[in-house]
Amino acid sequence: MFERLHHMQLVMPPGQEATARDFYAGVLGMTEIDKPPVLAARGGAWFRADSVELHLGVEDDFRAARKGHPGILVNDLDEVVDRLRTSGQPTEWEATSRASAGYTRTTRSATASSSSSRSREATACGAAR
């Protein structure tokens, strides 16, 4: 019945499209894709890389999710970590006990730039070596 996940919707504060572009396109190398005009008027941005598609929508009363995050399987985790570190993004390797499912995980956390700042988290997983 299900084939694959089409996209993941994430939220961001108003006016942060340039920051999103800098990170998702600039650091991660994703391609920004056009939103339908009726949705583009609302702000936000959509990005794609291979079969991964992220939609970033704007919320006026943005509050970063405390636990929710995309978990993206990558074929070269070291390259992703290098890109993050080169751009000044903090990364943290998870404890090896989490790697027992056959994957090594890294977490990138950042502080949201809004009056109600909280930590945002994204997880990238690569096949264990």
42-94 pLDDT, tens digit per residue, is: 999 999 999 999 999 999 999 988 888 888 888 888 898 899 889 998 887 76
CATH classification of the domain holding 40: 3.10.180.10
From 39, 62, 85, the end of a domain falls on 62
Q: How far apart are CA 64 and CA 2, in angstroms?
A: 29
Indicate whether 41 and 99 sit together in one domain: no
Question: Does residue 62 contact residue 118 with C-beta atoms inside 8 Å?
Answer: no
**Strand-pair category, 31-33 with 8-12:** unpaired
- Please tell me whether residues 70 and 58 are part of one structural domain: no
| 1 plus 15 within the same structural domain | yes
Which residue would you say has higher pLDDT here, 97 or 124?
124
Whether residue 79 is found in the same domain as residue 126: yes
Instruction: In whole angstroms, give the CA distance from residue 10 to residue 59.
Output: 10
**Residues 2, 17: one domain?**
yes
CB atoms within 10 A of CB 99: 16
Domain check: are 103 and 69 in the same one? yes
What are 12-50's pLDDT values in tens digits?
Answer: 999 999 999 999 999 999 999 999 999 999 999 999 999
Number of structural domains the chain divides into: 2
Point out the domain boundary residue: 62, 86, 110: 62
Q: What pLDDT is attached to residue 64? A: 86
In this structure, the number of other CB atoms found within 10 A of the CB of residue 111 comes to 10
For residue 124, what pLDDT is reported? 55
Give residue 116's domain range: 65-129
